[in-house]
Amino acid sequence: MKSRGEFKTPGGKLIAVEFDVVNGELRNVVVTGDFFLYPEEALPVLAGALENTPASLDEASYAASIRSALDSRAELVGSSPEALAGAVVRALRGCGGHQRADDD
């Protein structure tokens, strides 16, 4: 079952993450939202920073690995590594998604 979490940065944009948890790790990570990312082609860097990471990390550790993956290669605008890390933790706690009757 897919886990999904969202985080809306106050005064900024929404970032959402979806993934499976397999053998205690995040797999098939997909990052979406109405944030901005420059360059745009760097989107896989965000998911890549989370792919195969343990599902047992704390929020600061996810944020650190996202931040180090972005490094100087790309910049999130309207969102942040911390916001994406927040979305991951919400997804892991199972409280991150909107209930949407027409989806399931």
Partner 1 sequence: MLLSARCGVAVGISELTMTDAPSTTLADTARWRAFPWKLLPAVARTPLLNMALDEVLVERVGAGRRQPTLRIWGWSARCVVLGRFQSVRNEVDEVAAARRGIEIVRRISGGGAMFIEPEGAITWSLYAPESMTAGMTFAESYRFFDDWVVDALRELGIDAWYAPLNDITSRAGKIGGAAQARRGGAVLHHTTMAYDMNLPLLLEVLRTGKEKLSDKGVTSADKRVAPLRQQTNLPREAIIEYMVEQFRRRFGLEADALHPEEFAEAEERARERFGSRTWTHYLP
Instruction: List contacts with partner 1 (CB under 8 A).
Output: 11-13, 16, 30-40, 43, 75, 77-78, 98, 100, 102-103
Identify the helix (H) or strand (E) that includes residue 7.
Answer: strand 3-8
Nearest-approach distance from CB 77 to partner 1, in angstroms: 4
Measure the CA angle with vertex 76, ends 33 and 59; round to 5°: 80
In the complex with partner 1, the residue whose CB is nearer, 23 or 99, is 99
Nearest-approach distance from CB 31 to partner 1, in angstroms: 7
Identify the helix (H) or strand (E) that includes residue 63.
Answer: helix 59-70
In the complex with partner 1, the residue whose CB is nearer, 34 or 58, is 34
Nearest-approach distance from CB 30 to partner 1, in angstroms: 7
Closest CA to 83 of 35, 21, 49, 39: 35
